[in-house]
Amino acid sequence: MRKLRRIILLIVFFLIFLIVFVEIYPGLITGKSEGELDIPENVTVRNIGTLLKGNDFILDPIGFSIIVKIKGEEKNLKSGQYYLTDIHNIFDIIDILKQGVLPEDIKVTIPEGFTVRDIAERLYEKNVIEDKELFIKEAEQFEGYLFPDTYSFTEKMMNRDVINRFGERFLEILPANINEKATGKGLTLEQVIILASIVEKEVRLDEDRPLAASVFLNRMCIGMPLQADSTIVYILPDHKQWLSEEDYDIDSPYNTYKYIGLPPMPICNPGIKSIIAVLDAPDTNYYYFITTPEGKAIFERTLEEHNRDLAKYYGG
């Protein structure tokens, strides 16, 4: 008799173990480890269990409810449209439903030479930010340091989080010896970025950037105005391809025809190639350059040579 009781108890324990095991690892029976699941708002744990069973993720809504209650997660499961993947057991499901639906990544590419306003416009178009003008107000002090690259954002982020992401990338991409190289050129890091932003806007081809940087550095050394049209374009309300006489006469520290030296801040967010061009600018005797209609820069030593190039390519 005792032996029979022992066998019955073993069978009962085995069945209980089997039931619990199958409740925890339902995929062994259903064969399902991924799929869609839509959980409406304001539903009970039992309702969620029913939805899971209806989608073959679990075998028993009651067992699911009991496990959720034992874990103390009744109030922590979130509604949303899920795509469940890598489901190995019922605890994986509970953890995912606790975390909630992760926001979808939004890929945003910021080209070299974008200004804060350009960036705000693109982020707004992609629904990454909610208020363009507020973003501009918060980000304009970081002009030059919002590194151009491709980023993964989510919808309606906090402005400061977006700005921090740009800043973190900027610090990651800078050469480790940038301060040493800047000092070798007689510049601070801030001046390197300002000059790089001008190079970014003034030159189209990467191969021309170092020589263009040398032109501006040579001018700075002798106290000659940089005379970069792009610094004036930066302060105009609308972009212009050709400046007017009135534009050249604007009284602003960004007018590098009127004021000697660099403007107060960067005029765009330069790419790494323009930054390196400034740091590695060769020693030259160039003080002038033009960009041909095809985009190639032509460098000269004298004003006479420069005017000859202007006449050749632009008739002036």
Give the C-alpha separation, 243 to 236, whole Å.
10
Fold type of domain 106-173:
Dna Ligase; domain 1 (3.30.1490)
- pLDDT for residue 246 is more than 90: yes
Tell me the percentage of the chain whose pLDDT exceeds 90: 61
CB 250 within 8 A of CB 235: yes
Do 226 and 262 contact (CB within 8 A), yes or no? yes
Q: How confident is the model at residue 94 (pLDDT cuts 50, 70, 90)?
A: confident
- Tell me if 2-99 shares its fold with 106-173: yes
CATH number of 2-99: 3.30.1490.480
Residue 6 carries which DSSP code? H
Q: Where in the chain are the domains?
A: 2-99, 106-173, 187-314
Q: Which of 120, 121, 97 is nearest to 45 (CA)?
A: 97
- Inter-CA distances, 152 with 155, 166, 211, Å: 10, 11, 34
pLDDT, position 264: 97
pLDDT over 80 at 8, yes or no: no
DSSP class per residue in 216-274: HHHHHHTT-----HHHHHHHSSS--SS--HHHHT--STT-TTTS-S--SS-SS---HHH
If you average pLDDT over residues 5-22, what whole number do you get?
A: 64
- Which of residues 100 and 182 earns the better pLDDT score? 182
- The model's confidence at residue 61, banded by pLDDT at 50, 70 and 90, is confident
Centre a 10 Å sphere on the Cβ of residue 200 and count the other Cβ atoms it contains. Answer: 26
Q: Are strands 150-153 and 297-300 parallel, antiparallel or unpaired?
A: unpaired
- Please report the pLDDT score of residue 9 as a whole number: 67
**What is the C-alpha separation between 132 and 120, in angstroms, rounded?**
5
Of 32-36, 130-134, 261-265, the range with the lowest mean pLDDT is 32-36
Which pLDDT score is estimated for 237?
A: 86
Distant-in-sequence, close-in-space partners of 98: CB < 8 Å, separation ≥ 6: 73, 76, 77, 78
Residue 296: pLDDT band (50, 70, 90) is very high
Low-confidence winner among 9-18, 39-48, 230-239 (lowest mean pLDDT)? 9-18
For residue 4, is pLDDT > 70? Answer: no
Residue 284 has pLDDT above 60, yes or no: yes
pLDDT at 260: 97
Q: Are 169 and 273 in contact (CB under 8 A)?
A: no
Q: What is the pTM of this model?
A: 0.72
- Please report, rounded to a whole number, the percentage of residues in the chain having pLDDT higher than 70: 91
pLDDT reading at 19 higher than 70: no
Helices (H) and strands (E) in the chain, counts: 15, 6
The rounded distance, in Å, linking the Cα atoms of 237 and 253 is 16
Lowest mean pLDDT: which of 72-86, 153-167, 282-296? 72-86
pLDDT digits (tens, 9 = 90+) for 117-138: 999 999 999 999 999 999 999 9
Confidence of residue 27 (pLDDT cuts 50, 70, 90): low
Strand ranges for 143-236 from DSSP E: 150-153
Lowest mean pLDDT among 118-127, 232-241, 271-280: 232-241
Whether residue 279 has pLDDT greater than 70: yes
Least Cα distance to 254 among 226, 214, 224 occurs for 226
Cα–Cα distance, 39 to 188 (Å, whole number): 56
Strand partners, 108: 151
Handedness of CA 258, 263, 268, 274 (dihedral sign): positive
